[in-house]
Structure 1
């Protein structure tokens, strides 16, 4: 597992919000909802210089919407969506989150047990988790990553 580091300035995600209180499989239901209505937010998506969408995000937060880690890593909020322009407004039925600037470590999700392995890496290296972990899918490659905030900027 290759762990890399980056800084990501504050960014906007517009998506479908749910919580662990919604029951088993809620994340899959959020993605199904977001994907089946994607045309409603497509024009708001941030694009690179060649016109490609820059990111698909599964953003997580504690129940206070303060982007703290999930309670016991098992209870919190999830937003399944797309990175959008800063001035974008969420259409009816969608939710806009503004994710703060962080320094992250991140890794490609090549295996199912990435989360516990990176949490152990953080513990072994005395690196505190500074916020909730986020899922990222690169639209150009289809590869999935997990972003672990280690310092709020």
Structure 2
């Protein structure tokens, strides 16, 4: 559940969405999924414009994005918020250390070099405990 935007909204859209999500987070904080007292995680979700969770187009530069937090399936978004339900995938993932684009391209190269195929949009996971970001590369539809 989060704030949704599109690359058609102009440069810096992802940063603006995260700023809005962080600014208004108190509106959805009670809905956030937890493990004990800890939030499960924040997600930067991506989909192509068809909303089928296919990869972004034009060399991964065009699509829609949701900046938000993981919530239970039954959670309903308050006004001004959007909830996406991501289909089940099997993933290869990696921590983002250093340059995001370099890690993204290295992840794609890893898939290619190991005979794996990207079957959906890459997703970003941010672990709240240490603020570590991971990229999740979907390699199988479940």
Q: TM-score range by the shorter chain?
A: over 0.9
SS of equivalent to 2:17? helix
Aligned residue number for residue 58 of structure 1: 44
What count of residue pairs does the alignment treat as equivalent?
Answer: 139
Which residue in the other structure is 1:20 paired with?
A: 7
| Equivalences for residues 26-65 of structure 1 within 5 A | 26-48=13-35, 50-65=36-51
SS in 1 for 2:85: strand
Q: CA deviation at 1:85?
A: 1.0
1:123 counterpart = 2:112: yes
User: If each structure's strand is expressed as a fraction of its own residues, which one has the higher value?
Assistant: 1
Aligned equivalents of 1:114, 1:91: Cα separation in 2: 35
Q: Distance in 2 between matches of 1:89 and 1:125?
A: 40
Structure 1 outlier segments of 4+, above 3 Å: none
Cα distance in structure 2, aligned partners of 1:126 and 1:21: 33
Q: TM-score, normalised by structure 1?
A: 0.89
Greater relative contact order structure (CA < 8 Å, 6+ sep) = 1
SS in 2 for 1:28: helix
Q: Provide structure 2 residue ranges, at least 5 long, that are not aligned to the other structure.
A: none
Deviation at 1:79, TM superposition (A): 0.2
Inter-partner Cα distance in structure 2 for 1:85 and 1:39: 17
Which structure 1 segments of 5+ residues have no match? 1-13
Q: 1:108 aligns with which of 88, 95, 119?
A: 95
Distance in 2 between residues matched to 1:125 and 1:105, nearest whole Å = 11
Q: Alpha-carbon deviations, 1:5-46, whole Å to 9, x = none? A: xxxxxxxxx000001101110000000000000000001100
RMSD (Å) for aligned C-alpha atoms:
0.7
Report the equivalent of 2:121. 132
